[in-house]
């Protein structure tokens, strides 16, 4: 991200300021998987060094963080304490009528004295206007505290606004020797039950799940989030990248297309009768006019943003699809499950095919890396920064 034009570099925030904003950022994570395509936002209300209330944006279409925090204060009988308090907000308060009224109005109505904002909102309807409105009303607004952490929190939202492409999460399970399938294509199951449960959690918070035709044929997956009934979830769009629209109508994906949204992304050369058959089962079939695979795939990413407002997309393989996305520099996050198994074989399948990089420095840099046990497996998570 470019420097925030509304930041005040000479402003020195106190230790308490930083502590309250860090808490707001932590609180904001509660909206993960529920607020998209909106950003995750947290708000903490403080007076005389004490927390009055807090809130976060919990559901798309529901009240924003500031209004939830104010409502919480009222519910606790702390209405009088709102006047003259400081609001710590991870993202610039909205100033337009969308699905909810402006948060700037709410802050002004209850008499908040100071607002500390981690970062401005690049969404065109806001983009500095919320800060300007508050300042014109006489409120003190300080911007830029914990900005990097706030940008990291909403990296997917920011990428979508900046590039019109979703945040792409690459997921795979592999053996200790880096194989996702044997030379015969057998892959079930490399990872253990705990890892597969983690994958269902991932599926429950994304907007779309992508596989290539090869994986759809080899594994015949459902690509649904199978979690306890009480667990919150999104119903992700299931996407098969299949240039010829030749996936079998007997596959689980096609057979359940009337129940779970399913998109087949094909080329303009796909057989018309195959397209009609898939549509008769409830699949949405869309044709990309681009002649080459890479352009069709980039076209798909833009289509998912344009048609579905997709913010997070999970790609479950196989190697060719992940390789194409890698070559496009469109993989933003990796979720890898490493199993204590060995496969061997020079023709066994690796996680990422495609062209790859020519030299090591040409590759992306991993950051925000984390390792954790997952049953007998190891779960490795990281984000990628492309040069």
- Give me the active site residues, please: 66
Map tokens 């400081």 to a residue. 86
CB 65 within 8 Å of CB 57: yes
Tell me the three-class secondary structure of 116-177, residue by residue. Answer: EECCCCCCCCCCCHHHHHHHHCCCEEEECCCHHHHHHHCHHHHHHHHHCCCEEEEEEEECCC
- 294 three-state secondary structure: helix
CA-to-CA distance for 136 and 156, rounded, in angstroms? 31
CA-to-CA distance for 329 and 386, rounded, in angstroms? 7
53 half-sphere exposure, CB direction, 13 A CA radius:
21
Residue 331: burial class (beta carbons within 10 Å; 0-12, 13-18, 19+)? buried
Q: What are phi and psi for residue 199, nearest 5 degrees?
A: -65, -40
Tokens matching residue 113: 């004295």
Map tokens 């190891």 to a residue. 378
Where would I find the beta strands (DSSP E) of the chain? 42-47, 50-56, 86-89, 114-117, 140-143, 167-174, 208-212, 237-241, 262-267, 284-288, 312-315, 333-338, 365-374, 377-385
Identify the bridge partners of residue 263 per DSSP, sorted by sequence position: 239, 284
Tokens matching residue 18: 């930083």
Distance, C-alpha 190 to centroid of its chain: 26
């Amino acid at each position: 991200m470019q420097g925030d034009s509304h930041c005040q570099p000479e402003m020195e925030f106190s230790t308490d300021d930083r502590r309250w904003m860090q808490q707001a950022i932590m609180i904001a994570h509660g909206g993960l998987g529920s607020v998209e395509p909106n950003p995750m936002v947290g708000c903490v209300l403080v007076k005389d060094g004490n927390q009055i209330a807090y809130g976060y944006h919990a559901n798309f279409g529901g009240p924003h963080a500031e209004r939830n925090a104010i409502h919480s204060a009222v519910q606790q009988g702390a209405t009088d304490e709102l006047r003259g308090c400081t609001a710590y907000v991870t993202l610039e308060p909205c100033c337009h009528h969308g699905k909810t009224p402006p948060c700037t109005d709410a802050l002004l109505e209850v008499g908040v004295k100071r607002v500390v904002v981690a970062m401005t909102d690049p969404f065109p309807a806001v983009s500095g206007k919320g800060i300007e409105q508050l300042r014109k009303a006489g409120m003190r607004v300080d911007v830029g505290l914990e900005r990097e952490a706030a940008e990291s929190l909403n990296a997917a939202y920011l990428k979508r606004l900046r590039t019109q492409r979703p945040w792409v999460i690459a997921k795979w399970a592999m053996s200790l020797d880096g194989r996702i399938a044997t030379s015969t294509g057998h892959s079930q199951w490399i990872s253990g039950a705990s890892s597969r449960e983690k994958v269902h959690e991932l599926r429950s918070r994304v907007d779309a799940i992508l596989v290539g035709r090869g994986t759809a044929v080899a594994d015949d997956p459902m690509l649904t989030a199978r979690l306890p009934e009480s667990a919150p979830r999104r119903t992700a769009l299931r996407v098969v990248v299949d240039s010829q629209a030749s996936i079998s109508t007997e596959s689980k994906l096609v057979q359940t297309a009337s129940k779970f949204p399913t998109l087949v992304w094909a080329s303009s050369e796909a057989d018309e009768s195959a397209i009609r058959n898939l549509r008769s089962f409830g699949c949405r079939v869309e044709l990309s006019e681009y002649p080459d695979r890479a352009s069709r795939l980039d076209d798909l990413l833009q289509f998912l943003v344009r048609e579905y407002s997709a913010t997070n997309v999970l790609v479950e393989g196989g190697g060719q699809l992940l390789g194409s996305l890698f070559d496009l520099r469109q993989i933003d996050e990796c979720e890898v499950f490493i199993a204590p198994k060995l496969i061997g074989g020079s023709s066994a399948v690796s996680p990422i095919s495609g062209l790859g990089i020519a030299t090591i420095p040409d590759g992306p840099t991993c950051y925000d890396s984390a390792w954790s046990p997952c049953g007998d497996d190891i779960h490795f998570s990281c984000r990628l920064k492309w040069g």
